[in-house]
Structure 1
Amino acid sequence: MGNEANTEQKIILPLLKQWGYQSSEYQAKPRIGKGYPDFLVALPMAGDRPLNYLIIEVKTPAQSRLTGGQQLRYYMEAAQAVFGLLTNGREYHLLYQNPLREPLQQVTCASGILDQQTIQKLTKILHRSAAAALVTALTQQRLKVYHYFEKALAKSFSISSTTSKESPMIITVFNHKGGVGKTTLTLNLGAAFATMGKRVLLIDIDPQSNLTIGVGINPLKDVEEQGKKDIADLLLEPKVGLEDVVYQRAWGNLHLDIVPAHIRLADKEPALISTIDIDRVLQRKLKNHGYDIVLIDPPPAFGKVNAIALMASDGVLIPTQFAPYPIRAIEYVLARLEAMRDAMETPPRPLGIAVSMYNRTTSAANYEMKEKLSNILEKAANGRQTVQILPESTWIAHRVVMLRATESQQPIFSRKFYEELDRSDKESIDDLTTSFENLARYLFTQAS
């Protein structure tokens, strides 16, 4: 607690003064919902309701990584605050939401090291003059002010504005070794992208339908018995378009679209093989799809649907565990991908190895497995650019609460799921969501 108090006294309070706020314009430890954020900055507006401009959550610098994003999102939604700042004095996360937009969505604008250059950027948008200008515009009923506000944010940070024209990404998450957390990673990576303000489509192209079930869709009751269409129809029926097979899912203000799978896809392999130019069918039907991010979850095998998924993709993300057999399997995955690359005009590029389900307490074993994996990757490169293990900040730890989220058929970013947890599990969720957000930001930065 002392470390947090030090950060508040030496960094946060001087920043609030630098940003032009009087002590009467911010509160320490106000009650918001069921909790108490460290600071709330608010300016008066016409009427009784103030504009809650900024919520600040301070964490101890002693932690090896900055967590607490889900808690900050909860405070922002409850207070309808415009900005949220999470920091331990060394690192920071900045979140934004438009309080007039329904449903409320807290978008991660930026994160990184809290140095002088970053503080200068933050000053432009968090200074009292910016808050006062927003109050004036809202008082005059100029509600489009948030549109211009977001355009200004887009220039300084990675937030998506309504006018941004970023290139979409189509990623297949693939490993032919099962049990490495592939589907769980796909679902929660999609949710992480959604928290960045991206429009996300998940495509389940695995007959096991684990991704479909994972978002709360029963392939039998919700698809087959309702006479609705699924991925098999999209692949095999020429007149079925993407819009005919997309299902919308929501958990509070978290939205994901999905193309569901069904076990019957397993029986369609002969039909797929006999269809002319079937490898490009998904590529064609995803043309002008309108999403920022498309994540494809294929089966752990090298069948026809895998070739279809890869042909439609810009990149391949390979999840694995730090364990002997999953690491050994990577060599065969890369060899098969390389063989397929030679048969493609524009093959998807390997985006890297995503470490999943790893145990932070076995550091010596982790180091040994990482060295073995690095050697395999170097050997597999065969003169080409080596596929990289993604940064440690993106590694997904093994947490029991992840299994609970899977069983409840929700992403770990679900607010409802988070609010039902005890304090210890909430801390685990904050740790996991931080890793997934880091992974999403890393992939987006690499693509850009």
Structure 2
Amino acid sequence: MAKLALAESAVSGPVLLDAMTALSDRAHDVITRLRATVFAPGEEKIIDLRFTITKAAEMVGRTSEAIRQAEADGRLPAPRLSASKRREGYSLAEINQMRDVFGTRPRRGPEDPPIVLAVQNFKGGVGKSTLTCHVAQYLALKGYRVAVIDCDSQASTTTIFGFNPDIDIDDEQTLLPFFRHGGEPDLKYGLRATAWPGIDLIPANLGLYQAEYEAAARLRGNPDALDRLRRGVESMADEYDVVLLDPPPALGMLSLAVLRAANALLIPTPPSTVDFASTAHFLRMIVETLEVMQNHLGARGYHFLRVVATKVDEGKSAHTQIRDMMEAVFGADMLSASLLDSAEIDNANVQLRTVYELSGPATKTYERCRNNLDRLNGEIELLIRKAWPSHRPDLRRLGLG
């Protein structure tokens, strides 16, 4: 009956609810099968990246011989060996254990502020979630402690981190209970470990959209309600070096709350006239909105604010021309590296993964994409470290301060 209603609607009538239900069910079945294929066993995402001892030494900041010596004297566990007695490589968790033993794991100092970084643009389709996930995983590979808060009911970031928003995530596990009147007092209830060592997530699902209404209800006669998310982030941020916020692509209550909660901001912008114009409007709206909120709630500054060119195809002259124009307009307020449009990002998305999660033989296309991501995220890491007073002497010695 549902198929018949859908077929008839294409010719002569409105789409009926049962036809829409059938569409929803079929789409859900595809995602379920995809998860079963990609995240097996148990339909859970597994990150099985392994690093050679040479790569491990590079990541840890010590020599291969220093690692072998620490294993020999018991400071590190013995390496995992194959049947032929060859090292099988080290997991990221084992790399972090090495960093802890050698004292090379990068951390903010006790007096350094946690960086609360929002990846925000009120326009959809600009690469916001792609950027959020790759930044988070790059920082985790470097050894930082990262929390990701998915504030978008579309839940793209939640999906990439291995959770099916429709099945794995209850409304009570999202930000929704935090915004309800009489709800959770802080955000610690929502944090859950991901398959990535060093990354925790507060997930989202479609029900999170109700938080827009809950937040609006709290705001009536109480402007301080816009700072509720900021206080919630502060309640858990001490456990992390960086907290990443992925807000919805709209000017709503959650987006306003994210603007108040963040102390650093990335604005992803594809190289098109429409997207540039949208970003110009977005910046004007930010200024006007922050001025209003400042009058009611006090000043709220950012350690850094950068525009990021995203989805850039360097083979298209129009893209490079508009990116050049953006660089001329934004100057030092724009990252030097761009997030390039790459088949590798698309291939990873098909598998509900990121480029940092891909394994297997590295192609030239993969290497170019990975190098681009590392350059881009390296700039962001440097901005984060510059915001930490305890890191500034080392940065100055390296000529980066």
**Equivalent residue of 1:357, what SS?**
strand
**Equivalent residue of 1:177, what SS?**
coil
2:300 to 347, 354, 362: 347
- Alpha-carbon distance change, 286 to 360 in structure 1, aligned in 2, over 3 angstroms: same
**Equivalent residue of 1:233, what SS?**
helix
**Equivalent residue of 1:221, what SS?**
coil
For residues 285-296 of structure 1, what are the structure 2 equivalents within 5 Å?
Answer: 285-289=232-236, 290-296=239-245
* 1:53 aligned partner: none
1:223 to 158, 169, 185: 169
Cα deviation code 1:380-432 (max 9, x no counterpart): xxxxxx771111xx311100110221232223211xx222x662453244334
* 2:353 aligned partner: 410
For residues 172-321 of structure 1, what are the structure 2 equivalents within 5 Å?
Answer: 172-224=118-170, 228-236=172-180, 237-251=182-196, 254-275=197-218, 276=222, 277-289=224-236, 290-321=239-270
Is residue 2:95 matched to residue 1:150?
no
Q: Distance in 1 between matches of 2:263 and 2:116?
A: 5
- Alpha-carbon distance change, 166 to 405 in structure 1, aligned in 2, over 3 angstroms: farther
Instruction: Kindly indicate whether the alpha-carbon contact (under 8 Å) linking 1:231 and 1:262 is maintained by their aligned counterparts in 2.
Output: no
Q: CA deviation at 1:367?
A: 4.6
Instruction: Kindly indicate whether the alpha-carbon contact (under 8 Å) linking 1:193 and 1:440 is maintained by their aligned counterparts in 2.
Output: no
Q: Distance in 2 between matches of 1:365 and 1:428?
A: 21
Q: Distance in 2 between matches of 1:162 and 1:178?
A: 33
Q: CA deviation at 1:137?
A: 6.2
**Equivalent residue of 1:172, what SS?**
strand
- Alpha-carbon distance change, 230 to 135 in structure 1, aligned in 2, over 3 angstroms: closer
Letter in structure 1 aligned against 2:378:
N
Letter in structure 1 aligned against 2:177:
D
For residues 34-53 of structure 1, what are the structure 2 equivalents within 5 Å?
Answer: none
**Equivalent residue of 2:356, what SS?**
coil
List runs of 5+ in structure 1 lacking aligned partners.
Answer: 1-72, 85-94, 97-108, 110-124, 154-158, 378-385
2:115 to 144, 161, 169: 169
Q: CA deviation at 1:259?
A: 0.9
- Alpha-carbon distance change, 387 to 306 in structure 1, aligned in 2, over 3 angstroms: farther
Q: CA deviation at 1:177?
A: 1.8
* 2:378 aligned partner: 438
Q: Distance in 1 between matches of 2:335 and 2:153?
A: 29
**Equivalent residue of 2:194, what SS?**
strand
Q: CA deviation at 1:163?
A: 7.6
Q: Distance in 2 between matches of 1:178 and 1:435?
A: 25
Count of aligned pairs: 310
- What's the TM-score, normalizing by structure 2? 0.68
Q: CA deviation at 1:140?
A: 4.6
* 2:333 aligned partner: 388
- What's the TM-score, normalizing by structure 1? 0.61
- Alpha-carbon distance change, 387 to 278 in structure 1, aligned in 2, over 3 angstroms: farther
Q: Distance in 1 between matches of 2:147 and 2:375?
A: 20
Q: Distance in 1 between matches of 2:324 and 2:99?
A: 48
Q: Distance in 1 between matches of 2:370 and 2:242?
A: 23
Letter in structure 1 aligned against 2:150:
D
List runs of 5+ in structure 2 lacking aligned partners.
Answer: 1-47, 78-96, 389-401
Instruction: Kindly indicate whether the alpha-carbon contact (under 8 Å) linking 1:203 and 1:258 is maintained by their aligned counterparts in 2.
Output: yes
Q: Distance in 1 between matches of 2:153 and 2:98?
A: 44
Is residue 2:314 matched to residue 1:370?
no
- Indicate the percent of aligned positions where both proteins have the same amino acid: 21
- Alpha-carbon distance change, 371 to 427 in structure 1, aligned in 2, over 3 angstroms: closer
Q: CA deviation at 1:165?
A: 5.9
Cα deviation code 1:240-268 (max 9, x no counterpart): 532211121115xx542111112123234
Q: CA deviation at 1:284?
A: 1.2
Q: CA deviation at 1:142?
A: 5.2
- Alpha-carbon distance change, 163 to 441 in structure 1, aligned in 2, over 3 angstroms: closer
Cα deviation code 1:11-33 (max 9, x no counterpart): xxxxxxxxxxxxxxxxxxxxxxx
Q: Distance in 1 between matches of 2:121 and 2:73?
A: 55
**Equivalent residue of 1:413, what SS?**
helix
Letter in structure 1 aligned against 2:215:
L
* 1:6 aligned partner: none
Instruction: Kindly indicate whether the alpha-carbon contact (under 8 Å) linking 2:49 and 2:359 is maintained by their aligned counterparts in 1.
Output: no
Instruction: Kindly indicate whether the alpha-carbon contact (under 8 Å) linking 2:314 and 2:320 is maintained by their aligned counterparts in 1.
Output: no
Q: Distance in 1 between matches of 2:286 and 2:162?
A: 32
User: Which protein has greater RCO, CA pairs closer than 8 Å, 6+ apart?
Assistant: 2
* 1:426 aligned partner: 366
Instruction: Kindly indicate whether the alpha-carbon contact (under 8 Å) linking 1:353 and 1:387 is maintained by their aligned counterparts in 2.
Output: no
* 2:9 aligned partner: none
Which range moved further: 137-146 or 199-208?
137-146
- Alpha-carbon distance change, 142 to 191 in structure 1, aligned in 2, over 3 angstroms: closer
* 1:381 aligned partner: none
Instruction: Kindly indicate whether the alpha-carbon contact (under 8 Å) linking 2:120 and 2:247 is maintained by their aligned counterparts in 1.
Output: yes
